[in-house]
């Protein structure tokens, strides 16, 4: 049960379907706002950065719509919690290499590379339910059992510069980073909003913490 | 390692959920929203919904689709009567995670290709309905009423080359009889393409899921089994886990 009113926002920079994310958060007991104006970002206690599609297209929209500075100020200066989901997690990195090299938000040191480049010999995209192995304890996993499964759709993965930022991994021929954390900045490669009860619990942990 | 999946298939006739045998003699199977809410709460891995209303509507009923997708927090695939990209746009915007193409592929050879380019193969499922005619697996369309005269091996390869991300392989002969999938058909298809195979048509017990797994299926769809018996997706998972099939365990809150 949520006692104090937490203001949760979902950043809408024009990429991806945020309907199911918004539905899942509503089920937790908080009605999220869809934020379309970067100047409103600081009104929120917690924000979620979603995304599906290609890294450079997402960054093009982030830059074009003046989200970059707003997100960086929110996360680095105000140190408020932000959770990136799927492509939203990947663009937290320094660079992405989908199509061509593209600068990310530089919030968590690392680069986003294709699973193939990282050594995966199985077919990609990696789609479906897969286990998430916790490598460092984090409040995001509270009440979620060891090796719970979450729903993934990814061809690329976050290659962290330092394992300190990796708190969970997933195996698809190779082990890749499935959850990143640096201070108040969080990211999941999987879609918690499509991951049934485990995913709902993770979102609940992020929002209620 | 990716998990094998337990998937209920729901057939919507425009008024109610239905389920028949050999694509005929549909029985009513309840309200779509109530049924989907129950499946969602029981931790199924995915849900597939086919609109078989034959209304041939050009316009997607986005209100209905949204009321369905709003109830689920697992991936949902929607199919039935899709003939163009703009309908797919509507379905994705209404919360579908994947769309499923079937009959249209026999009439518009490029649609899979166009859809995969626009939305990515991961979002495009192709369903193939098959009858065994004189020991040849022949693909049928329009709800199993028209023969395409195409052999399943050729057709499935063609669909995958064009960009199908996964295949639902449905045996019209076994549909609704609950005597087991056409395992030979599943083997024929799974040994010819690399994309995930969803077995459909004929599941009547958990053992049938295991047989489909042994023949190369990655996901086990069922309708009658859940509509008309006491079987549940959760029990199916327990059974398969005991057989050492990699399946997502149901979530337990870990205090």
Interface check for A204 against chain B (CB to CB < 8 A): the answer is no
Strands (E), chain A: 8-11, 33-35, 46-49, 82-85, 95-96, 102-103, 110-114, 126-131, 133-134, 149-154, 156-160, 166-172, 174-182, 185-188
* pLDDT of A98 strictly over 90: no
Q: What's residue B57's pLDDT?
A: 65
Give exposure, B169-205, as e/b (b: 16+ Cβ within 10 Å): bbbbbbbbebebbbbebbbbbbeebebbbbbbbbbbb
Tokens encoding A160: 């962290």
* pLDDT of B255 strictly over 60: no
Residue A197 is nearest to which of B43, B45, B255, comparing CB atoms?
A: B43
Q: What's residue B254's pLDDT?
A: 58
Tokens encoding A37: 């104006």
Residue B143 lies in a domain: yes
Q: Does an H or E element contain B151, and which?
A: strand B146-151
Confidence grade of residue A1 (pLDDT, cut at 50, 70, 90): low
Give exposure, A73-93, as e/b (b: 16+ Cβ within 10 Å): ebbbeeebbbbbbbbbbbbbb
* Interval B118-128: pLDDT, tens: 888 889 999 99
Hey, what's the torsion of the CAs at B175, B178, B182, B186, to 10 degrees? 90
Distance, CA of B54 to CA of B23 (rounded, Å)? 13
ipTM of the complex in this document: 0.89
Distance, CA of B121 to CA of B98 (rounded, Å)? 9
Phi-psi region of B145 (alpha: psi -120 to 50; beta: other; left: phi over 0): alpha
Average pLDDT value for chain B? 93
Residue B252 lies in a domain: no
Confidence grade of residue B253 (pLDDT, cut at 50, 70, 90): low
Residues 44-73, chain B: which have Cβ within 8 Å of A?
45, 66, 69-70, 72-73
Residue A128 is nearest to which of B2, B120, B253, comparing CB atoms?
A: B2
Q: What's residue A195's pLDDT?
A: 96
Which alpha helices (H) appear in chain A, and where do they start and end? 19-28, 55-64, 67-72, 87-90, 196-208
Residues 165-184, chain B: which have Cβ within 8 Å of A?
165
**Nearest Cα residue to A209 out of A142, A128, A120, A152:** A142
CB contact under 8 A, B69 and A19: yes
CB atoms inside a 10 Å sphere around CB A162: 10
Distance, CA of A9 to CA of A67 (rounded, Å)? 14
CB atoms inside a 10 Å sphere around CB A43: 12
Select the residue from B73, B74, B166 to test the A interface by mutation, using most A Cβ atoms within 10 A. Answer: B73
Distance, CA of B172 to CA of B160 (rounded, Å)? 21
CB contact under 8 A, A151 and B75: yes
Q: Does an H or E element contain B30, and which?
A: strand B24-30
Cβ–Cβ under 8 Å, residues B32 and B49: yes
Whole-number CA gyration radius for chain A: 16
Residue B254 lies in a domain: no
* pLDDT of B98 strictly over 70: yes
Tokens encoding B190: 């799974």
For residue B166, the distance in angstroms to the closest alpha carbon of chain A comes to 10
Tokens encoding A71: 């997100």
> What would the mean pLDDT of B198-217 be, rounded to a whole number?
98
Residue B202 lies in a domain: yes
CB contact under 8 A, A198 and B251: yes
* CATH number of the A8-96+107-208 domain: 3.40.50.880
Distance, CA of A90 to CA of A54 (rounded, Å)? 10
User: Which structural domain, as residue segments, surrounds residue B128?
Assistant: 5-242
> What positions of A carry a catalytic annotation?
86, 191, 193
Confidence grade of residue A15 (pLDDT, cut at 50, 70, 90): confident
The crossing angle, in degrees rounded to 10, of helices B206-214 and B233-242 is: 50
Angle at B115 between CA B111 and CA B120, to 5 degrees: 150
Indicate yes or no: pTM above 0.80.
yes
State percent of chain B over pLDDT 90: 85
Residue B251 lies in a domain: no
Distance, CA of A141 to CA of A160 (rounded, Å)? 20
The total number of structural domains in chain B stands at 1
Higher per-residue pLDDT: B109 or B54: B109
Confidence grade of residue B59 (pLDDT, cut at 50, 70, 90): confident
Cβ–Cβ under 8 Å, residues B78 and B96: yes
On chain A, the residues whose CB falls within 8 A of the CB of B5 are 128-129
Task: Tell me the CB-side half-sphere exposure of residue B233, using CA atoms within 13 A.
Answer: 28
Angle at B44 between CA B11 and CA B60, to 5 degrees: 35
Long-range pairs for B148-153 at CB < 8 Å and ≥24 separation? Answer: B148/B106, B150/B106, B152/B128, B152/B185, B152/B188, B152/B189, B153/B188, B153/B189, B153/B192
Largest CA distance in chain A: 48
Confidence grade of residue B43 (pLDDT, cut at 50, 70, 90): confident
* Interval A146-197: pLDDT, tens: 889 999 999 999 999 999 999 999 999 999 999 999 999 999 999 999 999 9
CB atoms inside a 10 Å sphere around CB A134: 18
Interface check for B90 against chain A (CB to CB < 8 A): the answer is no
Least confident of A43-47, A110-114, B40-44, B242-246: B40-44
Residue B255 is nearest to which of A143, A146, A199, comparing CB atoms?
A: A143
> What would the mean pLDDT of B136-149 be, rounded to a whole number?
96
Higher per-residue pLDDT: A54 or B172: B172
* pLDDT of A79 strictly over 50: yes
Q: What's residue B120's pLDDT?
A: 86
Residue B231 lies in a domain: yes
CATH number at residue B79: 3.20.20.70
Q: What's residue A55's pLDDT?
A: 92
């Amino acid at each position: 049960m949520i006692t104090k009113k937490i203001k949760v926002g979902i950043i809408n920079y024009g990429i991806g379907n945020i309907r199911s994310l918004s539905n899942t958060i509503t089920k937790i007991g908080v009605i999220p706002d869809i934020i379309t104006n970067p100047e409103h970002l600081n009104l929120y206690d917690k924000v979620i950065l979603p995304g599906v599609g290609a890294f450079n297209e997402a960054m093009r929209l982030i830059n074009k719509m003046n989200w970059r500075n707003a997100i960086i100020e929110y996360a680095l200066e105000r140190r408020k919690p932000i959770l990136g989901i799927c492509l939203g997690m990947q663009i937290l990195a320094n660079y992405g290499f989908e199509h061509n090299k593209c600068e990310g938000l530089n919030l968590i040191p690392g680069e986003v590379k294709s699973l193939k480049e990282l050594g995966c010999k199985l077919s990609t995209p990696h789609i479906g339910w897969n286990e998430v192995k916790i490598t460092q304890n984090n409040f995001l996993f509270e009440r979620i059992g060891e090796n719970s499964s979450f729903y993934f759709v990814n061809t690329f993965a976050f290659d962290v510069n330092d394992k300190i930022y990796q708190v969970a991994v997933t195996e698809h021929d190779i082990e890749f980073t499935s959850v990143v954390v640096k201070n108040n900045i969080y990211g999941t490669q999987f879609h918690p909003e499509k991951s049934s009860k485990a995913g709902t619990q993770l979102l609940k942990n992020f929002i209620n913490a | 390692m990716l998990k094998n999946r337990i998937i209920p298939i729901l057939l919507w006739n425009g008024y109610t959920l239905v389920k028949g045998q050999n694509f005929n003699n549909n029985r009513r199977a309840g309200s779509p929203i109530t049924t989907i809410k129950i499946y969602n709460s029981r931790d199924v891995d995915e849900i597939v919904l086919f609109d078989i209303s034959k209304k041939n509507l050009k316009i997607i009923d986005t209100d209905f689709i949204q009321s369905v997708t709003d109830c689920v927090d697992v991936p949902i695939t929607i199919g039935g009567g899709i003939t163009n990209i703009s309908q797919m746009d509507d379905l994705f915007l209404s919360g579908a995670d994947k769309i499923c193409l079937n009959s249209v592929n026999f009439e518009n050879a490029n649609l899979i290709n166009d859809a995969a380019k626009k939305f990515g193969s991961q979002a495009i499922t192709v369903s193939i309905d098959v009858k065994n005619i004189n020991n040849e697996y022949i693909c049928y369309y329009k709800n199993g009423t028209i023969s395409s005269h195409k052999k399943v091996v050729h057709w499935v390869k063609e669909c995958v080359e064009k960009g199908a991300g996964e295949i639902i392989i449905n045996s019209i002969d076994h549909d609704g009889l609950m005597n087991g999938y056409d395992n030979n058909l599943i083997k024929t298809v799974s040994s010819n393409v690399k994309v995930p195979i969803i077995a459909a048509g004929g599941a009547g017990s958990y053992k049938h899921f295991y047989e489909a797994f042994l023949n190369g299926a990655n996901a086990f769809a069922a309708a009658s089994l859940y509509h008309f018996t006491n079987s549940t997706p959760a029990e199916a998972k327990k059974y398969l886990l005991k057989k050492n099939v990699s399946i997502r365990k149901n979530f337990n809150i870990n205090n």
